[in-house]
Each structure stands twice: as C-alpha cells, then as structure tokens.
Amino acid sequence: MEQLEIFDIPNPCRGICQTNSRGLCLGCFRTRKERFEWQRLTLAEQQNVLRLMKQRKGRLLRELRRQQLDAASAQHLSQQNELPF
C-alpha cells in the first residue's frame, strides 16, 4: 500500500546553483527542468525527483572516488619508476 504524504515536500535547493558538464546542479543534483518545474510537480513526481537526485549524487561520488584512486595509483607507479634499482 502506498503511503500518503500529509505535508508538501520542501524544495531541495541548497542555494549553490551551479551546474556540472551534464547540466546537473552541484547543490541538489536536479536537472534544469526539474528545478524550474518543482512547484508544479505532483507529490509523486517530487518523490521521484528526490530518488533520482540521490542516485545521481551517489554516482557522482563513486566517480570522484575512482578518479582519486586512479590518480593516487598513477602517482605511486611514477614514484616506483624513479627508484634507482
């Protein structure tokens, strides 16, 4: 059974309002369309946007961690190649 929402879902804007190369806001991870249409969305649509935001944030964090690990690994390998033996 679906749970009914009693209260409106507050706008998830965090006031950062900068976008990445994919057009996602770096503060809330919404698309431009999702940001502009937030107040017109139904509660179910807003909940879906919140779910998508969470997925996008997780994906971005995993990407950043992998890039950091790749950079650290490359640095470690370059240091090993500098050893005199």
Task: Report pLDDT digits (tens) over 15-73.
Answer: 998 998 889 999 999 999 999 999 999 999 999 999 999 999 999 999 999 999 988 88
pLDDT, residue 63, reads: 93
Task: Name all contacts of 14-23 with Cβ < 8 Å and 24+ positions apart.
Answer: 20/60
Query: What gap in Å lies between CA 41 and CA 30, rounded to an integer?
Result: 13
Q: How far is CA 24 from CA 4, 15, 73, in A?
A: 29, 14, 29
> The pTM is what?
0.74
